[in-house]
């Protein structure tokens, strides 16, 4: 189970710089792909053979320039509740401010491990100045400079040493793991209650995971699946539910632990920026997706025209990934609830789908011949052979060609679309790799 590390601290101490510095330690994991730049507040860090998710709490708070004490206290409260480890960033140039003292007080009372990070220590003279941070009573301050990276290696070693050991999830069979996600009041709880119904066919709660069980196994309507608990569905937090950023950090664990995410949208509200944030978490983690427009019973005009315009609007907002099912449901009246589960199962099967190399080449090579990659500086690019990689987390295809570096994003998208036109990969992302033959 992935660990979550949260960065907290008052504005302008360099939280985002530290975030970018730690994430940048392994460029491979971030992939500045199209569409993932929106949320620079979440990423994965790999260090010393361990991987953890890093969350910059400052990033989700609206107009974080004029953050008042209560805003920061809220952020810290959420970090304490959701993270496994907290990085408390302070600024050695400015020394201790009242706000720092306040945050330190909250952190001292919490049961989670905290590391004090003394930022902006650009040279060794500054390290002596960091001694005042011992007064927080939170242990040794780690002196770093997020700008030039000094000290970050030691900090990462300390983070890895302080994280709880990963306990691998013990799941009996290979069943789809579904997470219901979405912002507050989109109807997640109602949908889950509709799934579970009164006649609870709950088979097992898997123990051994840190939060009360995160997987609950169901067998409903003849379908077997695990529901990933979004931690917040059963216990209402002590923090205000309506906090934008709250639902995003809440979703991280559920998304990372699932195969297929059921994204709930509110039919009466349309797509909001927070839905986009949650969607981009799904995309970053390359998970299957089913979009459910809930509260459809409240929409007056249910004509095909309205449905079409809704559908188009959603696909437009979530482009370039548009090949996913959209269902119009009502968790209250239980309309199309079964369809949600069946569709999620199909998406799960699509993630596991294999296409024989012979079939791939037979269908794709003629298409490529008709629309070859654009020539580059007079050199022709020839794709000779295609194969699907052995089962990974998502379907991945390798195209072997003579000059792989000249095949650009738009052509890769063209290849992906052609694969999708010929085989059903609805709801699941696809990897396209171009390699030298």
Q: Is 60 annotated as a binding residue?
A: yes
Q: Is 56 annotated as a binding residue?
A: yes
Q: Is 95 annotated as a binding residue?
A: no
Closest CA to 162 of 131, 128, 146, 139: 139
Q: Is 12 annotated as a binding residue?
A: yes
Q: Is 84 annotated as a binding residue?
A: no
Q: Is 182 annotated as a binding residue?
A: yes
Q: In whole angstroms, what is the distance from residue 408 CA to residue 246 CA?
A: 37
Tokens at residue 107, please? Answer: 């952190």
Q: Is 13 annotated as a binding residue?
A: yes
Q: Is 57 annotated as a binding residue?
A: yes
Q: Is 427 annotated as a binding residue?
A: no
Q: Is 404 annotated as a binding residue?
A: no
Q: Is 119 annotated as a binding residue?
A: yes
Q: Is 232 annotated as a binding residue?
A: yes
Q: Is 120 annotated as a binding residue?
A: yes
Q: In whole angstroms, what is the distance from residue 267 CA to residue 291 CA?
A: 11
Closest CA to 190 of 258, 277, 269, 292: 292
Q: Is 121 annotated as a binding residue?
A: yes
Q: Is 168 annotated as a binding residue?
A: no
Q: Is 257 annotated as a binding residue?
A: no
Q: Is 183 annotated as a binding residue?
A: yes
Q: Is 230 annotated as a binding residue?
A: yes
Q: Is 43 annotated as a binding residue?
A: no
Provide the sign of the torsion angle of the four alpha carbons 216, 192, 225, 324, taken in this order. negative
Q: In whole angstroms, what is the distance from residue 55 CA to residue 50 CA?
A: 16
* Cα 19 off chain centre by: 16
Q: Is 423 annotated as a binding residue?
A: no
Q: Is 270 annotated as a binding residue?
A: no
Q: Is 242 annotated as a binding residue?
A: no
Q: Is 393 annotated as a binding residue?
A: no
Q: Is 35 annotated as a binding residue?
A: no
Q: Is 267 annotated as a binding residue?
A: no
Determine contact, residues 156/142, Cβ cutoff 8 Å.
no
Q: In whole angstroms, what is the distance from residue 331 CA to residue 337 CA?
A: 7
Q: Is 295 annotated as a binding residue?
A: yes
Q: Is 231 annotated as a binding residue?
A: yes
Q: Is 9 annotated as a binding residue?
A: yes
Q: Other CB atoms closer than 10 Å to residue 197's CB: what's the count?
A: 13
Binding-site residue ranges: 9-16, 56-60, 119-122, 182-189, 229-233, 294-297
Binding-site residue ranges for GTP: 9-16, 56-60, 119-122, 182-189, 229-233, 294-297
């Amino acid at each position: 189970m992935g660990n979550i590390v949260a960065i907290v601290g008052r504005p302008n101490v360099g939280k985002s710089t530290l975030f970018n510095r730690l994430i940048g330690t392994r460029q491979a994991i971030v992939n500045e792909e199209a569409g993932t730049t929106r949320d620079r507040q979440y990423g994965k860090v790999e260090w010393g053979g361990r991987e953890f998710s890093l969350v910059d709490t400052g990033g989700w708070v609206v107009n974080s320039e004029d953050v008042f004490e209560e805003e920061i206290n809220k952020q810290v409260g959420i970090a304490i509740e959701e993270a496994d480890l907290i990085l408390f960033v302070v600024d050695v140039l400015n020394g201790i401010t009242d706000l720092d003292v306040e945050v330190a007080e909250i952190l001292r009372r919490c049961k989670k491990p905290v590391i004090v990070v003394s930022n902006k220590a650009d040279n060794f003279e500054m390290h002596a100045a960091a001694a005042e941070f011992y007064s927080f009573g939170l242990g040794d301050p780690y002196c770093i400079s997020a700008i030039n990276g000094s000290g970050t290696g030691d900090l990462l070693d300390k983070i890895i040493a302080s994280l709880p050991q990963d306990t691998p999830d013990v799941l009996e069979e290979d069943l789809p793991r579904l997470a219901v996600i979405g912002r507050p009041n989109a109807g997640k709880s109602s949908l889950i209650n509709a799934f579970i119904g009164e006649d609870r066919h709950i088979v097992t709660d898997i123990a051994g995971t840190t939060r009360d069980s995160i997987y609950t196994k169901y067998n409903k309507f003849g379908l077997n699946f695990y529901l990933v608990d979004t931690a917040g569905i059963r216990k209402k937090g002590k923090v205000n539910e309506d906090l934008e950023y709250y639902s995003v950090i809440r979703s991280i664990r559920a998304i990372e632990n699932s195969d297929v995410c059921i994204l709930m949208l509110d039919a009466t509200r349309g797509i909001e920026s927070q839905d986009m944030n949650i969607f981009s978490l799904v995309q970053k983690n390359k998970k299957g997706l089913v979009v459910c427009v809930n509260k459809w019973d409240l929409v007056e005009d249910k004509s095909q025209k309205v449905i079409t315009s809704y559908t188009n609007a959603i696909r437009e907002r979530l482009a370039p990934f548009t090949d996913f099912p959209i269902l119009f449901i009502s968790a209250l009246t239980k309309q199309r609830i079964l369809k949600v589960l069946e569709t999620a199962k199909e998406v799960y099967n699509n993630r596991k789908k294999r296409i024989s190399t012979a079939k791939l080449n037979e269908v794709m090579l003629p298409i490529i011949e008709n629309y070859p990659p654009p020539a580059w500086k007079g050199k022709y690019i020839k794709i000779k052979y295609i194969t699907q990689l052995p089962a990974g987390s998502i379907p991945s295809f390798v195209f072997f060609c003579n000059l792989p570096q000249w095949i650009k994003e738009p052509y890769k998208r063209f290849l992906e679309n052609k694969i999708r036109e010929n085989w059903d990969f609805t709801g699941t992302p696809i990897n396209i790799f171009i390699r030298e033959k």
